[in-house]
Amino acid sequence: MFGIAGFEKFEQAELEHPSPRKEIDGRFIYLSRHYELDVWNIGCVVRNLNLDLFEGRSVFFGIDPERGTYRGRAHLAEMIALICPPPSFVAQGALSYKFFSNQVPPPVSLEQLETNLEGTDRELFLQLMSKMLQWKPQNRLTPKQLVEDPWLKKHTSR
C-alpha cells in the first residue's frame, strides 16, 4: 500500500535529487524546486484571478505595440512597470541586451490597478501582492508565511 508516508518519502527524495525532466544533447534539464519562485507564480495567479474575476482584465498582456502580438519583452516591460526595474544582477545577464535598455516604462502601481476592493480588504490585498511580487526570491514570502497572511486567511477560511 502506498500511503501518505510513501508520498512524503517521494516528495523528500524529489526535493533532494529531482528526477530528470528532459534530455538535450545528453544533458539532463531539471525543473527548479525553489519555493520562492513558486511564490512569485502564486502572486501572479492571485493577482490575475482577482482582476479576471472581479474586474474582467489581466495584469500582464505582453502585447508588443510594434507588432501587435505577444512578445516576452513586452511582458517583461509590463512587469517592470508594475514592480520597478529589476536588480542589477538581472540586467547584467548574458542575454540582458535582448530584454533591457535604458528605456524604462512609465510606472504603474498595484494601487492603480486594484479598483474593486475597498478599505482594509484592499490594503491587505495590496500588502500581500507587494510581498509576493518581488524580483529577488529571498525577498518573497515563503509558503509558510503565505498561509499566515491575513488577506488569504480571510478569503480561504470556511
Same domain, 44 and 11: no
What is the CATH number for 38?
1.10.510.10
Same domain, 54 and 121: yes
Sequence-separated (6 or more) residues with CB below 8 Å from residue 115:
55
Same domain, 74 and 118: yes
- Grid cell locating 50: 482577482
Same domain, 70 and 40: yes
Same domain, 69 and 101: yes
Same domain, 27 and 39: no
Same domain, 46 and 75: yes
Residue 55 belongs to what domain range?
34-156
Taking each helix axis from N to C terminus, what angle separates 35-50 and 119-132, rounded to the nearest 10 degrees? 140
One digit per residue, the tens of pLDDT, for the chain of length 158 reads: 344 555 566 666 666 666 655 566 666 555 555 554 455 566 665 655 555 444 556 677 788 888 898 888 788 888 888 887 777 766 677 777 777 777 777 888 888 878 888 999 999 988 988 888 887 778 888 878 888 899 888 877 65
Same domain, 27 and 102: no
Number of domains in the chain: 2
Same domain, 23 and 89: no
